[in-house]
Structure 1
Amino acid sequence: MTIQLYSTCPQSKDVPAGRYRAAVTDVARWSEEAGCTGMLVYTDNGLVDPWPVAQTVIEATTSLAPLVAVQPVYMHPYTVATQVSSLAYLHGRAVHLNMLAGGFRNDLLALGDATEHDRRYERTTEYTHIVMDLLRGATVTRAGEHYTVDRLRLDPPLPPELLPELLMSGSSPAGLAAALEVGATPVRYPEPPGETGTRPDGVDRFGIRIGIIARPRSADAWEAAHARFPADRAGRITHRVAMSVSDSHWHRQLSGRDAGGGPADPYWLGPFQHYKTFCPYLVGDYDEVAAVLARYLEQGARTVVLDIPESPAELKHIGTVADLARESLTP
């Protein structure tokens, strides 16, 4: 069984400017050494542009693919296609794309974009079709509701073997429909392992977004987890404020749950509900966490987008869990 693992790049807002390039380089190299396919590079109004970060990732590694988050409000689809083809031309490397429809609601409003949730996914669908048609070498003429292009071609062309893999949030019905229409892997924020809502309807394979903290002993894993993500009242308040202005389907879904977590419950929402990160965590000993991950694999998860790794040792622990999960499903 093949599982694609993506790590996540450090955010510029969390690292001083003088150290940020080194932080990106370090995590990219750790991720490649751990066998990751790529590394997600975030985008929003409060972060450095993801494309120079993607180039930094490429220059620091030999095969790791930057998974660049693409927000349609920020740039024309032709610009995205030229970024991908230019990096391929300069470095002979692939860039994968995480196609966004939303983001922080106030970020979109600051840019004058008040488009409602489902319409944003319609826009992203149009946008992605133009990007991918250009990257496949087509001359694109399209008169859509959101974008119009006329006999548009990409130069330099992209070598076919470097065509990006596409990921897109599939947590809402609109997001899932958009992902399926453009051929993207729909990514979910998984439900607890005993529930059945993680696998999207009508989909054989999908992705999940999770963090993992695992150790040989469960008590050590939970000690590390609470040290990294201590509960605090300010974080809980910030989360509630963010929730009050969000129209994100997955944000509301996770916010309505109990945080869970503990020796008998590897599924933990504590970091998410205290505004420390944006995904559930699996915490416990190797066997406990591998058993939960195996449940998601049984449902069809083949892409796992991990949270920002704290150290190369953390990625080694995660690799152990992934190997155990795969082995448990091998006939």
Structure 2
Amino acid sequence: MKAHTFGDAVEVFATSPQSAESTTDAYLKEVIEIAQWSEQEGCTGTLVYTDNRLADPWLVAQIILQNTKTLCPLVAVQPLYMHPYAVAKMVSTLAFLHGRRVYLNMVAGGFAYDLKTLKDTTPHDKRYDRLREYTHIIKALLSGGAVTFQGEYYAVDNLRLTPVLPPELFPGIFLSGSSEAGLDCCRALGATAIKYPKAPNEEMNALDGLEKAGIRIGVIARPEEDVAWNVAYKRFPEDRKGQLAHQLTMKVSDSLWHKQLSDLAESTTVDRNPYWLVPFQNYKTFCPYLVGGYETVAREIARYIGAGYRSFILDIPPDKEELRHTGVAFQQAWAMAEKG
């Protein structure tokens, strides 16, 4: 995924590993390696998760910036963890120290247990109302000048941000677009709406009043179909324990995307369907996968591009070689999309 292949037309993000699944030394090494692989293969950036179990994403973003030259950390932002002024300060300070841009992945909710321990009982749709205020303040501060705002959840009075953020380093802002509340929030903020997509042939119009849209998806592509599926079955075998964990999560979650994917999983069980949800059903990852030969996967990606998606967030890459194979599929997909 060399940068010149996509230009400004398509953004491709990898994902950083999770600290809860590693030791300190191994985690640092893996974060740096994946960031460097992602940069070398032409990714725009890499997603850094946040939840109660994980290392602080801003400190991880700092590690990424120190070990790359152009890669943009896509930092997950949970409003329960910090005031919007602190988020804006992080963005402007990283720009001041490194001359680099970051992206923000605004999180409305989280795991049910995390919200419970933080004593947050805000209903699903109201969390998006809160996130709208939160993100509005961040954007206003980063745009410069004094900010005064009075909302239901947040208020500031004549608040100014320093260091001042150069306009060319203003962050890209991503937000879940899997529910109507999320989509309304995206439209109000001009944010990129990120979805866990349906099968490509079911995605007709990604924008629907939105400025920008993207998807979260895994890819396993190889020159031959059989090789790709052998890799997929080996990496994500059936796991009864994982299936039970998935079922438990379904019972306690109010996440609409989780329920939507679970419903889709029941209708995409045909053997070797390139839209593959077995990793999701076995609690190994939280996104669909596209699996197959380069041409097969490229055709599916091209359909997403044709539907209007321009941002793609990949799953955590197991190695640099996987990113290279994914890049080949994306290059072919873009060529297909240009030809219509």
TM-score, normalization by structure 1: 0.97
How far off is 1:284 after superposition?
Answer: 0.3
Amino acid at match of 2:282: H
Match of 1:6 in 2: 13
Cα distance in 2 for residues equivalent to 1:161 and 1:257: 40
Match of 2:168 among 157, 161, 166: 161
Question: Corresponding residue for 2:284?
Answer: 276
Which residue of the other structure, out of 293, 296, 299, is the alignment partner of 2:304?
296
By how many angstroms is 1:95 displaced? Answer: 1.1
Aligned-residue offset at 1:203: 3.3
- What amino acid does structure 2 have at the position aligned with 1:10? P
Per the alignment, residue 212 of structure 1 pairs with 219
Question: In 2, Cα distance between the equivalents of 1:295 and 1:43?
Answer: 30
1:187 counterpart residue number = 194
Write the letter of the residue equivalent to 2:23: P
User: Following the alignment from structure 2 to structure 1, what is the Cα–Cα distance between the partners of residues 98 and 72?
Assistant: 12
Aligned residues: 331
> Which runs of 5 or more residues in structure 2 are unaligned?
1-5
Contact 1:191 1:197 in 2 (8 A): no
| 1:316 paired residue number | 324
Greater mean deviation of Cα atoms: 65-74 or 13-22: 13-22
1:87 Cα offset (Å): 0.8
Secondary structure of 1:272's aligned partner: helix
Partner of 1:251: 258
- d(CA) in 1 for partners of 2:82 and 2:272? 46
Deviation at 1:262, TM superposition (A): 6.2
Partners of 1:170 and 1:200 within 8 A in 2: no
CA RMSD of aligned residues (A): 1.3
For the 8 Å contact 1:42–1:69, the answer to whether it is kept is yes
| Distance in structure 2 (CA, Å) of the matches to 1:242 and 1:22 | 31
Instruction: Read off the aligned partner of 2:281 and give its amino acid letter.
Output: Q
- 8 Å Cα contact 1:6-1:39 kept in structure 2: yes
Contact 1:261–1:267 (CA<8 Å) still a contact in 2? no
Task: Give the distance between the partners of 1:18 and 1:321, measured in 2 at CA.
Answer: 33
Deviation, 1:159, is: 1.0
Per-residue CA deviations over 1:63-83 (Å, capped at 9, x if unaligned) read: 100000000011000000111
Distance in 2, matches of 1:32 and 1:199, equals 27
* 1:314/1:262 CA distance change after superposition, 3 Å: farther
Deviation track 1:304-331 (CA, whole Å, cap 9, x = no partner) reads 0000011110000111001000101224
Deviates more, 1:259-268 or 1:229-238: 259-268
CA distance in 2, matches of 1:63, 1:153: 28
In structure 2, the residue corresponding to 1:20 is in which secondary structure? helix
Which residue identity does 2:146 align to in structure 1?
A: T
Cα distance between partner residues in 2 of 1:112 and 1:29: 38
Q: Distance in 1 between matches of 2:219 and 2:265?
A: 19
- Give the drift of 1:198: 6.9
Structure 1 residue ranges without an equivalent (≥5)? none
Name the CA distance, whole Å, in 2 between partners of 1:242 and 1:93. Answer: 37
SS at match of 1:115: coil
1:104 aligned residue: 111
Is the contact between residue 207 and residue 308 of structure 2 (CA under 8 Å) also seen in structure 1?
A: no
How far apart, in 1, do the equivalents of 2:309 and 2:201 lie?
15
1:238 maps to 2:261: no
Provide the rounded CA distance (Å) in 1 between the counterparts of 2:34 and 2:75. 15
Q: How does 1:1-331 map to 2 (within 5 A)?
A: 2-196=9-203, 199-203=206-210, 205-258=212-265, 260=268, 264-331=272-339
Tell whether the 8 Å contact from 2:262 to 2:281 is kept in structure 1 after alignment.
Answer: yes
3-state secondary structure, aligned to 1:301: coil
Structure 1 window deviating more from structure 2 (64-73 vs 202-211): it is: 202-211
Deviations for 1:104-152, whole angstroms, at most 9, x for unmatched residues?
Answer: 1110111010101000000000000100110111311111000011110
- Please report the TM-score for the alignment, with normalisation by the length of structure 2: 0.95
Distance 1:71 1:197 in 2: 31
Partner Cα distance (2:182, 2:288) in 1: 19
Query: Percent identity of the aligned residues?
Result: 52
- One-letter amino acid matched to 2:277: L
Q: Which is worse superposed, 260-269 or 55-64?
A: 260-269
